A and B are shown apart, each in its own frame.
Chain A
Amino acid sequence: QGGARRAGIMTDVHRRFLQLLMTHGVLEERGVRRLQKHCYRVHGRTAAVEELEDFINNINSVLESLYIEIKKGATEDDGRPVYALVNLATTPVSKMASDFAENELDLFRKALELIIDSETGFASSTNILNLVDQLKGKKMRKKEAEQVLQKFVQNKWLIEKEGEFTLHSRAILEMEQYIRETYPDAVKTCNICHGLLIQGQSCETCGIRMHLPCVAKYFRSAPEPRCPHCNDYWPHEIPEVFNPDKEREAGTSKANKKPSRSRQH
């Protein structure tokens, strides 16, 4: 990976950007652009703001030797572009973050396995907590485990919806490679983009799966949506393609949209 990438020039503008991105862990594209503008402004650079993609590639070429990079992905529920700094070297979950104890990391691992094995991409709080006795390391009570799960949500590794947990886009960006290699049989992929799939829609006839944003793009303005694999009718509601401009106008957050978790299978 990487090929012969020319080592870029990193200025204080880029360094500040990198530091701030690391502080937040993961950022939506809108926030990333604001961040970039802010960094230029702080350093008094009146030069034209570099195109975001080039800006990021520049930073990535310098970070290459550390096997980390700023990666772009999208949220699984509505396709918002997000960016995160991820580790490219394959590391087991135990190295994921050091502010978690051994039993906390094992709890995450258990939740991760339940999420991957589930049909919907969600694991219920009850099912996760029932595994508390099997954790490695210090004994953890269920009450404690609930708080640990909240810590994961705060740190943007998990998302909680109505008492169920799924992976945050940050976790998917960071751990996709690890997940594919550790759970090669259980892992699901999208028929369109071939990326790792946790939440999505599936064809009831042939079983192929697609991300919600991939469904939106593929069936955009299609009068009669049909499965790309077996050509049977696609039985689910087709979501809308994410439009950042529309959102800015409306001035509302995604909490306002129709239920974004689709248990559609």
Chain B
Amino acid sequence: MDRRNDYGYRMLPFQSKHLNGDERGGDNYRLVPWGWRPPPPRDVALLQERANKLVKYLLVKDQTKIPIKRSDMLKDIIKEYDEYFPEIIERASYALEKMFRVNLKEIDKQISLYILISTQESSAGILGTTKDTPKLGLLMVILSVIFMNGNKASEAVIWEVLRKLGLRPGVRHSLFGEVRKLITDEFVKQKYLEYKKVPNSRPPEYEFFWGLRSYHETSKMKVLKFACKVQKKDPKDWAAQYREAVEMEVQLQLWLRLRLKPGLSGSNTSTGFIGEPSISTSFNGGPSSIIGFSSGPSSGDGFGGGPRNGAGFGGEATSLVACSFSYS
């Protein structure tokens, strides 16, 4: 119920620039669905208004970290302007990037799911902890186990580690709730982890992998550094992982440079669904970003620089327990 609709629309400078197509690298060609016609000039204001609403909607919905469905966007915001969806979502992407440095990414073309990823290095933890910090700390532990184990880890291995932290399946924890549900259901829905059945296993066994969001919100280098800190080792001691992490950093730098090059920035990346690297490339160690929007996994200082009392990472994994528990 937006009561401000009557107030008329004010064009901000950067938006008119966008309409001229300057950002498209001088070539005005763009993918136009069959039968779609551009709206007459006076309707542009209405589309922009709808795009602005979509921006707020996405920011709120993203708080849960569960990917947003295109069908929900159409039902809740776009409504009667569904044939203009491509233009509306492009305007929303642009605003998200310009105002919040956040990228709207389509992560599944079949069922049209989107997530928001921050495109600047995270400062999470600068002002202490938020309600999400403990869970993300736990996630960081799991991601590092998976990575150090060769990018996948069986459920058994994960529970071995968690038991050392005092966490058990089926036992409700004051911060995490039911831990098994958190790691096999919540983190999976949020795309932080993947939980897959080992083929042909009887009785059925399961493995954990990094989820798509983890690739985007943190980096293997960060996770490696975190793991090394916990074990008091130099990242270079883990030669294979270090090589892999460096490779990903190089790819990331290249990708960032390409994104920022004038002429390529426009439709290629801000909308996220024209010519983006597909999902399979990301899983093979493709480009990823290193940040976390809102409270994504942050740097190797673990727990986002949480407790200030310096409860550090001792050699024992059990000291992580002290860190986690100090939030309560």
Contacts and interface: CB of A to CB of B under 8 A. Distances in A.
A74 interface: no
Interface in B40-74: 48, 52, 55-56, 59-61, 63-64
A97 B55 contact: no
Contact of B99 (A23, A39, A63): A63
Contacts of A99: 63-64
B12 interface: yes
B127 A67 contact: no
A90 B295 CA distance: 27
Contact of B123 (A10, A20, A90, A155): A20
A91 interface: yes
A59 to B, nearest CB: 9
B149 interface: no
Contacts of B295: 23
A62 B101 CA distance: 13
B37 interface: no
A68 interface: yes
A35 interface: yes
Contacts of A67: 2, 4, 52, 56
B294 interface: yes
Contacts of B2: 67, 89-91
B127 A19 contact: no
Interface string B293-310: 111000000000000000
A62 B130 CA distance: 27
Q: How large is the interface on B (under 10, 10 to 19, 20 to 34, 35 or more residues)?
A: 35 or more
A35 B61 CA distance: 25
A27 interface: yes
B123 A62 contact: no
A20 B64 contact: no
Q: How large is the interface on A (under 10, 10 to 19, 20 to 34, 35 or more residues)?
A: 35 or more
B124 interface: yes
A15 B127 CA distance: 16
Interface string B2-34: 111000011011000000000000000000000
A88 interface: yes
Among A10, A19, A87, A154, max chain B CB count under 10 A is at A19
Interface string B73-105: 000000000000000000000010011111000
Contact of A89 (B4, B60, B61, B294): B4
B7 to A, nearest CB: 9
A38 B122 CA distance: 12
B126 A66 contact: no
Contact of A24 (B60, B118, B127): B127
A12 interface: yes
A97 B62 CA distance: 10
Interface string A33-56: 011001100100000000000000
Q: Which 6 A-B pairs have the closest CB atoms?
A: A99-B64, A15-B101, A89-B2, A154-B131, A23-B294, A90-B3
Given A31-B127, A65-B12, A98-B64, 12 more contacts: A16-B101, A18-B100, A19-B120, A20-B126, A22-B59, A24-B130, A35-B127, A65-B52, A66-B99, A67-B52, A90-B1, A98-B60
9 contacts: A19-B101, A38-B123, A62-B12, A65-B95, A66-B95, A67-B52, A67-B56, A68-B56, A98-B63
